[in-house]
Structure 1
Amino acid sequence: MRDRLSGAARTARHRGRGHTTNKTSGMTNSTETRINARGTGVALKKSDLYSSLWKSCDELRGGMDASQYKDYILTMLFVKYVSDKARTDSSSLIEVPTGGSFEDMVAAKGDKEIGDRINKIIAKLAEANDLQKVIDLADFNDEEKLGKGKEMQDRLSKLVTIFQDLDFRGSRAEGDDLLGDAYEYLMRHFATESGKSKGQFYTPAEVSRILAKLLGITADTQFSETAYDPTCGSGSLLLKVGDEAPNGLTLYGQEKDNATWALSKMNMILHGNEIADIRKGDTITNPQFTSGGQLNTFDFVVANPPFSVKSWNNGLESDFGRFEYGMPPEKNGDYAFLLHILKSMKGTAKAAVILPHGVLFRGNKEADIRKRLLKQGFIKGVIGLPPNLFYGTGIPACIIVLDKEKATARTGVFMIDASKGFIKDGNKNRLRSQDLHKIVDVFTKQIELERYSRMVPLSEIGTNANNFNLNISRYIDSSEPEDIQDLFAHLHGGIPNRDIDALSASWDAFPVLRKELFYDIAREGYSKLAIDIADVPQAILTSAEFVAFTDTARAQVADWYAAHRPALETIDANTKPNDLITTMSDDLLERFKDTPLLDEYDVYEQFMSYWHTIMHDDVFLLMNEGWLNAAKPRKTIEDKGRKINEAPDLVIGSGRSAAKYKMDLIPPALIVAHYFASEQENIDRLTASIEEINRQLEEYIEEHAVEDGALAEAMEDGRISKALAAARLREAKSKWGDHDEIEALEHLINLYNAEVAAKKLFKDKQAELDSLTLAQYGKLSEDDVRELALDNKWQTMIATAVLGEVENLTQALVARIKELGIRYDETVGDLEAELTKLGSRVAEHLTALGMK
């Protein structure tokens, strides 16, 4: 890369990385061209953009393996990015030469030699920026992968068209350029598609954020401080570390695989880290960051090394003093990477590394190394993660946190068992926002939670029984308490108080309710339900405590939202979404921290889930288009060539002339509820009327279409339509048919006519309401849009989600109380008495039949 900025200018620029905002979006304000600057049909919302981008690219892959195809897609994305950037950013560190831009690729569309032309374009760009063997690894003229002749010509032309549609020269959100985010999105999907053997180039973003936040980076951390990843893969983990520092960090990384190293170099540039130093080679046998025969040291180190490499020491000539605490076993390289990281740390450095659980408990040489590291105080903490998080392996892993600062004074290891905190996401497990936040909070604040975390003294770890084994299950029992069946209660009745006491979180919230539901019995330690089991749900839901609890939760959400509404209503191009969401979510956590029954992290997850699925895209729209334009309807995207078809929110007209609209910020339902409630009530009544007519039709047919029934002759293939009924009526009247049959057929036809009339009226009224709704969008003022989005949409949905958490917990309480009530409702004596009673009745019947 040619150095076209002075060192001071580059440093100043990168100190601001992650917090720059370009006020000039590439978007127009026209409703019809609101999709992007060209109006070419790619959805502006980030989620829609990335989804359509992935689908479009994936359709062109053909039989190529995802691990190979990613090189083509990500290279083209890179060329598109730097070409757009160079046109608008005079300080861009990437030079785009004549004949080496994305526009030159566009000019090559349809050319028989398109593959060769793209290769030459990329070669010019690479040569101009010293990026040879970085961006030119994918051969766009490879007939085996891309097809021959017309097939290659069409495939590459379509591929260029996909990226030609994207125009994000000025759009920024969350501190990263859109195409940088798109790069990460595509890498995650390629990692998923590539399978276990080829998906190791990418560490899930949630895990990367945890490692980055465990390092203790603060607002005072300077750009001159260094972060290092010795197995950096595609660089995403290293970038997350850099994002933690408001002033940025100086980034260093090394990667063994040539193609993955190239991905990392491109990733750094796409995320504004052009000066990151990413080197190529095997970290263990050929470390690149050395001086005077010693490893260079860094302030922060992170890594997700390949697990249990068997050939780690092939070609090892110098250990650079890394193995002073022991030589790792020849057939397992986990501790080789851990010791390399330790040696690469400055005297006060922090590190976080992902390794398989085996490093915590395996014996022999690894046990000796582990023991010495613990005695030195280097291991600050161990965090157990859920299984199946990573793309390269399904086995569970752990995070080992190393800290050289005050190591000699360390007297314990802080452990977290986070193995149960995840959600299923396709064929992988994924950490939720609440799982990430809880791990970081608990670790950084050293909070001890039952069945989750504790500070384990080194004296306990070093006992003869444990012998410096760090297996988390030795020190934290994360299993749920066993649900014990009480034989005494089964024999004599009553619910054990210990089962009721186990619901202490509920009684903290509803102390009086317990006394209303249960009463003590003569036997000590047992109680009985004071009401019928069937009445338990109603008793809880209508209790004064539950109503007050719900009102309090609602008020807490309202107060929290009111505190942040001024910031939300001033969202514009200068907004920093990452700062906004962090401030709001952390405050929500704090407000619910002391609320009984409710777990503040569950409440936090409700908000973050809404942020990720809806609100993030809304904020992004507002930043790029402003309040009024973001609320305007737009025509749906229907691109048959790329097989992208958006589901419309509103359809005006029918058939080929129908106009289909998307309302990204303000859904039609909000407009209807706010402005046309009475019209909607009329339509709801019509809907109920149609349903009632349908019910009458079904009942009448079922009653009279039986064998010898009045409608039996009109049935055909087990059904009777209006046409069949009318034909049979004409026949019956012409032959002076049965009076009851004629009357029944006439009644049935009247019902069918009523159904048709009701449906027509419904259709007309719905079309009328749809037209009113569409017209109302044009009448909205900026204040109207703010009210609809901020209050009717965001606040209402967030409050509903939080109160849904209250309802879930209440339903769990109801289910448990009913379970206990049913379990001990009948004693063994009651069952024996019932059995005796039934036996007597059977004997009486047998006697009556003359049997002994």
Structure 2
Amino acid sequence: MALKKSDLYSSLWRSCDELRGGMDASQYKDYILTLLFVKYVTDKAKSDPNSLIDVPVGGSFDDMIALKGDKEIGDKINKIIGKLAEANGLEKVIDLADFNDEEKLGKGKEMQDRLSKLVMIFADLDFRGSRAEGDDLLGDAYEYLMRHFATESGKSKGQFYTPAEVSRVLAKVVGIGPGTRQDHTVFDPTCGSGSLLLKVADEAPRGITIYGQEKDNATWALAKMNMILHGNEDAEILKGDTITNPQFTAGRELRTFDFAVANPPFSIKSWSNGLENDYGRFELGRPPEKNGDYAFLLHILKSLKSSGKAAVILPHGVLFRAGAEAAIRKELLRRGYIKGIIGLPANLFYGTNIAACIMILDKENAQARTGIFMIDASKGFIKDGNKNRLRSQDIHKIVDVFNRQIEIERYSRMVPLHEIADPKNDYNLNISRYIDSSEPEDNQDLHAHMHGGIPNRDLDALGGYWEAFPQLRNQLFKPNNRPGYSDLTIDVSRVQQTILDSPEFQKFADESRDLTTKWFNDHRDAFISIGTETQPNDLIATVSDDLLARFKPVPLLDEYDVYEQLMTYWHSVMHDDVFLIMHEGWMDAAKPRKAIESKDRKLSETPDLVIGSGRNATKYRMDLIPPSLIVARYFAEEQAKVDELTAAAEEASRTVEEYVEEHTVEDGLLIDAMDDDKINKALTTARLKVARSEGSDPEEIKALQHLIKLYNDEAATKKAVKEAQAALDLAVLEKYGELSEADVKKLVLDDKWRAAIVGRIGSEVNALTMALVARIQVLGDRYVETLGALDALMKVLESKVSQHLADMGVE
């Protein structure tokens, strides 16, 4: 039984993290990723006789497994990796991490145990079925580890990895797509670990030729391994400083490419150290000596063919800084090289917390360009630990809006070049000059405060709601005696229930639910057909784009919010489910499996079902079909009985608590049964025995006897609950073995996926309704008390104070 992907990745990270000791994550990653690489190529060679990587005798991961417990394990792992490197020309690529380093891995037994455990973590992984395209277990695991290593490495060492979400945006806006040919070229002059280039390659289904350069030796090695791990063995990744020592040259000229993407280091001060040949890169102006942002941008521009396109991540300063940068920016605009600018949220990147932007360059028809398309996407993100992250909806919206050049108020617009060149702007590209993304001010109305009534302009601002619910405004509001103002027809406390009970709202909610159900049913055959050949990324792209398109015409609802509900469920649940079905088949994926319990590897799982108790308990995990779905469909009556017994047990416990509380007050009948302010059945029984022998107050004896009866009743009801629950759990476990494939598909598709998605999208309808309720309540409360009413109240209070003073003899 395959583990769910999310469980596999998190277990992998936790296990590796357990063993790193005091080593910095930026160093530890080299050990982990090297082992992952060796494991992958070993598995690949077993299943693919035409694999481009030759795994020699004595150079495989299996040879590492044989070293478990070996006193010389560190040195022998180095030799295994050395053989693999020598056989494939990968010296100084996969052999940079020293597995015999006592300072990092410990001495003697400590190193022996640490490396033995580390190797065994990877031993259970099987990458023989891993594919470079579509849903890639290895690639996803690698990216999962890279993200965590980048997060752990801190500001100074986290720049080897561009967040996958940002990489996807660059890949989709640079112009690569289904029409891209395999002989088209893409170049990243500061490629880091290569993650950005690989995201670009994902956008080219027919393939694309990859080129990259990286300055840091260890990061360059990661990039080389990353390319091989993702099936891009032919990618040309060279080492060196891009500005002072560009590797992709043709004589005294730079080689040119069809596309370029980059996330260069921000505002580097030493960019020109050792610069001898500028290769004509600075013909539009020389960047300032203490800031290298434009040095990288101009290098990329020079590296593009005459119709080439690029997407580059840069700090916002390049858009507005003065001096030499302003002169370069002016020339770029005059020549039409800048196609667009996308402002991103702050704190997305691992190397810095500042906000960045994406600048899109396009040489094709540059002279004919008359405007720059700008997007302010700075508000679209979700918090993820100590960083921000683009959501699926943020990525899709940015890409849709940019590629289709859609203008949206406070989000995007095509800015004419003559507006940018106007003296008041003087070629300043600061996005806030051209797009005001701030929310409109909530202005107070002085006349309404003085005389009452809700301003109609505030109600008009809710036009989207009145469009969706045409009769609701007249139901909630009536004209005030002053033109331009309205009054609530009901008390403000009843607004929420009135809206929820509105036939228009109920119709809107029903139509949204029906639209979601129809969408799901239309794709049901695709879901039923999930199997070994399924491409999960293609599947979710198709169905999610269709969902977005169907909700686009729906008033009030933001189709991207609806899309996000699906994508969140996909990433948290459906993706794992699809993975299991692909690898196990519907029937095997639905079978219960024993939960993993391993103190050694820290991989213990929380069980979904426990049969038996104590040491005899058997713990099960149900990855595809949780027990709650089986209970809801097949054992509703039994569950109702358990609920009834549980309620009885809770009532019995409350009765005990109330009786004890009533009679343990000072001089209470049960006070002598308490010990350290505690009372239980044992103490009560002991006190009853003493009370009888001493001939105590009959009322106390009667109270003690009654409490013991209550304790017995409580124990009996709890026992009944336990027995009923145990019987239900056993019946549920047995039911799994009786399910047919049709049953499994119905449970997964209807009871799990469809029900969850319909519910999540329904929550969007409820959320926007609550927003309307909140706004009406604010307006209703804001103007409920007029100046006249407050003045009248003030006079009443003054009169009362005067009367109180007079009563006390104060004049």
TM norm structure 1: 0.94
Alpha-carbon shift at residue 806 of structure 1 (Å):
0.9
User: Is the counterpart of residue 483 in structure 1 residue 442 in structure 2?
Assistant: yes
Q: Distance in 2 between matches of 1:688 and 1:413?
A: 66
Q: Distance in 2 between matches of 1:83 and 1:182?
A: 17
Q: Which amino acid is the alignment partner of residue 197 of structure 2?
A: L
Q: Indicate the residue corresponding to 1:161 in structure 2.
A: 120
Q: Distance in 1 between matches of 2:687 and 2:621?
A: 48
Residue aligned with 2:359, SS = strand
Q: Indicate the residue corresponding to 1:285 in structure 2.
A: 244
Q: Distance in 1 between matches of 2:216 and 2:734?
A: 58
Q: Indicate the residue corresponding to 2:218 in structure 1.
A: 259
Q: Distance in 1 between matches of 2:64 and 2:135?
A: 25
Q: Which amino acid is the alignment partner of residue 246 of structure 1?
A: P
Q: Indicate the residue corresponding to 2:674 in structure 1.
A: 715
1:76-475 to structure 2, matched below 5 A, reads 76-172=35-131, 175=134, 177-475=136-434
Alpha-carbon shift at residue 173 of structure 1 (Å):
8.5
Q: Distance in 2 between matches of 1:304 and 1:176?
A: 25
Cα distance per residue 1:710-749 (max 9 Å; x no partner): 3333333333222222233333333333343333333322
TM norm structure 2: 0.98
Alpha-carbon shift at residue 471 of structure 1 (Å):
0.4
CA separation of 1:702 and 1:842: change in aligned 2, threshold 3 A: farther
Cα distance per residue 1:442-479 (max 9 Å; x no partner): 10111111111111111111111110000001111111
Q: Distance in 2 between matches of 1:202 and 1:176?
A: 21
User: Is the counterpart of residue 559 in structure 1 residue 518 in structure 2?
Assistant: yes
- Give 2:628's match in structure 1, choosing from 669, 678, 700: 669
Alpha-carbon shift at residue 171 of structure 1 (Å):
4.0
1:34-73 to structure 2, matched below 5 A, reads 34-35=1-2, 44-73=3-32
User: Is the counterpart of residue 822 in structure 1 residue 781 in structure 2?
Assistant: yes
User: Once structures 1 and 2 are overlaid, which stretch shifts more, 693-702 or 402-411?
Assistant: 693-702
Q: Is the Cα contact below 8 Å between 2:65 and 2:120 reproduced in 1? A: yes
Q: Indicate the residue corresponding to 1:636 in structure 2.
A: 595
Q: Indicate the residue corresponding to 1:502 in structure 2.
A: 461
1:5-44 to structure 2, matched below 5 A, reads 34-35=1-2, 44=3
Alignment length, in residue pairs?
811
Alpha-carbon shift at residue 524 of structure 1 (Å):
1.7
Q: Which amino acid is the alignment partner of residue 740 of structure 2?
A: S
User: Is the counterpart of residue 759 in structure 1 residue 724 in structure 2?
Assistant: no
Q: Distance in 1 between matches of 2:652 and 2:146?
A: 54
Alpha-carbon shift at residue 174 of structure 1 (Å):
5.9
Q: Is the Cα contact below 8 Å between 1:171 and 1:624 reproduced in 2? A: no
Q: Which amino acid is the alignment partner of residue 553 of structure 1?
A: S
Alpha-carbon shift at residue 832 of structure 1 (Å):
2.2
CA separation of 1:748 and 1:840: change in aligned 2, threshold 3 A: farther
Alpha-carbon shift at residue 846 of structure 1 (Å):
4.6
Q: Distance in 2 between matches of 1:152 and 1:95?
A: 29
Cα distance per residue 1:187-221 (max 9 Å; x no partner): 11111100000000000000000000002222221
Q: Distance in 1 between matches of 2:752 and 2:191?
A: 41
Q: Which amino acid is the alignment partner of residue 679 of structure 1?
A: E
Residue aligned with 2:191, SS = coil
User: Is the counterpart of residue 625 in structure 1 residue 584 in structure 2?
Assistant: yes
Residue aligned with 1:511, SS = coil
Alpha-carbon shift at residue 847 of structure 1 (Å):
4.4
Q: Distance in 2 between matches of 1:306 and 1:133?
A: 24
Q: Distance in 1 between matches of 2:317 and 2:692?
A: 88
* Ranges of 4+ aligned residues in structure 1 off by more than 6 Å: none
Q: Is the Cα contact below 8 Å between 1:134 and 1:266 reproduced in 2? A: yes
Alpha-carbon shift at residue 851 of structure 1 (Å):
5.1
Alpha-carbon shift at residue 797 of structure 1 (Å):
0.4
Q: Is the Cα contact below 8 Å between 2:135 and 2:535 reproduced in 1? A: no
Q: Is the Cα contact below 8 Å between 2:132 and 2:231 reproduced in 1? A: no
Q: Is the Cα contact below 8 Å between 2:311 and 2:358 reproduced in 1? A: yes
Unmatched runs of 5 consecutive residues or more in structure 1: 1-33, 36-43
User: Is the counterpart of residue 652 in structure 1 residue 615 in structure 2?
Assistant: no
Q: Distance in 2 between matches of 1:373 and 1:331?
A: 21
Q: Is the Cα contact below 8 Å between 2:133 and 2:202 reproduced in 1? A: no
Q: Distance in 2 between matches of 1:758 and 1:781?
A: 36
Residue aligned with 1:169, SS = coil
Residue aligned with 2:738, SS = coil
Q: Distance in 1 between matches of 2:306 and 2:225?
A: 32
Q: Indicate the residue corresponding to 1:17 in structure 2.
A: none
- Give 1:736's match in structure 2, choosing from 695, 708, 711: 695
Larger relative contact order (CA 8 Å, sep ≥ 6): 1
Unmatched runs of 5 consecutive residues or more in structure 2: none
Residue aligned with 1:387, SS = coil
Q: Indicate the residue corresponding to 2:641 in structure 1.
A: 682
User: Once structures 1 and 2 are overlaid, which stretch shifts more, 255-264 or 727-736?
Assistant: 727-736
Q: Distance in 2 between matches of 1:779 and 1:571?
A: 22
Q: Is the Cα contact below 8 Å between 1:106 and 1:164 reproduced in 2? A: yes
Alpha-carbon shift at residue 482 of structure 1 (Å):
1.3
Residue aligned with 2:261, SS = strand
Q: Which amino acid is the alignment partner of residue 324 of structure 1?
A: E
Identity across matched positions, percent: 71
- Give 1:697's match in structure 2, choosing from 648, 656, 661: 656
Q: Which amino acid is the alignment partner of residue 728 of structure 2?
A: L
Alpha-carbon shift at residue 487 of structure 1 (Å):
1.9
Q: Distance in 1 between matches of 2:653 and 2:553?
A: 52
Alpha-carbon shift at residue 689 of structure 1 (Å):
1.3
Q: Is the Cα contact below 8 Å between 2:134 and 2:538 reproduced in 1? A: no
User: Is the counterpart of residue 531 in structure 1 residue 498 in structure 2?
Assistant: no
1:743-754 to structure 2, matched below 5 A, reads 743-754=702-713
